[in-house]
């Protein structure tokens, strides 16, 4: 499995370069994600712009990482293709993590040097609203 990892300003960008993410690829994906779990208070952007298919094992792993990373990190996902967006909708994942449409929009909004006050306010309001929904469900 090919995964591009780079740091842009203060944002760690993780970008799987495969079109299909399956259980056979999970060890490499988990190892990559585990590197970032050890860090604290970092912004991690998972870009799924190339992904058009995720099997059940991959979705479950992603759910686990969304929960883990939300504790000590700012974990954001971007670039959902229509098939992956349908998976997110069916699992209500967009209620659990902040999702941007395009990678460029996510990087601009998350970069404090380039983010506008309105964008930051909208992002915080969106995250707060999602957290309220999660707490109300439990």
> What pLDDT, on a 0 to 100 scale, did the predictor assign at position 95?
86
Domain range for residue 74? 3-137
Q: For 97-113, write each residue's pLDDT tens digit.
A: 999 999 999 998 888 66
pTM of the model as a whole: 0.78
Average pLDDT, the chain: 85
The answer to whether 28 touches 58, Cβ cutoff 8 Å, is no
pLDDT for res 67? 87
Which secondary-structure segment (H or E) carries 104? helix 103-110
Look up the CATH number of the domain holding residue 75: 3.30.750.24
For the chain, the domain total comes to 1
Burial of 132 (0-12, 13-18, 19+ CB in 10 A): exposed
φ and ψ at 72, to 5 degrees?
A: -120, 10
Closest CA to 23 of 64, 72, 57: 57
Nearest to 75 by CA among 121, 33, 125: 33
């Amino acid at each position: 499995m090919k995964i591009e990892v780079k740091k842009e300003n203060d944002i760690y960008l993780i970008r799987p370069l495969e079109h299909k993410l399956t259980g056979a690829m999970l060890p490499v994906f988990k190892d990559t994600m585990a590197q970032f779990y050890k860090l604290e208070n970092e912004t991690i952007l998972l870009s799924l712009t190339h992904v058009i298919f995720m099997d059940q094992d991959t979705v479950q792993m992603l759910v686990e990482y969304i929960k883990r990373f939300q504790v000590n990190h700012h974990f954001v996902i971007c670039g959902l293709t229509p098939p992956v967006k349908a998976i997110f909708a069916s699992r209500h994942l967009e209620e659990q993590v902040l999702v941007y449409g395009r990678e460029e929009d996510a990087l601009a909004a998350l970069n404090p040097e380039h983010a506008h006050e309105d964008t930051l306010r909208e992002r915080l309001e969106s995250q707060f609203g999602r957290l309220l929904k999660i707490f109300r469900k439990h």
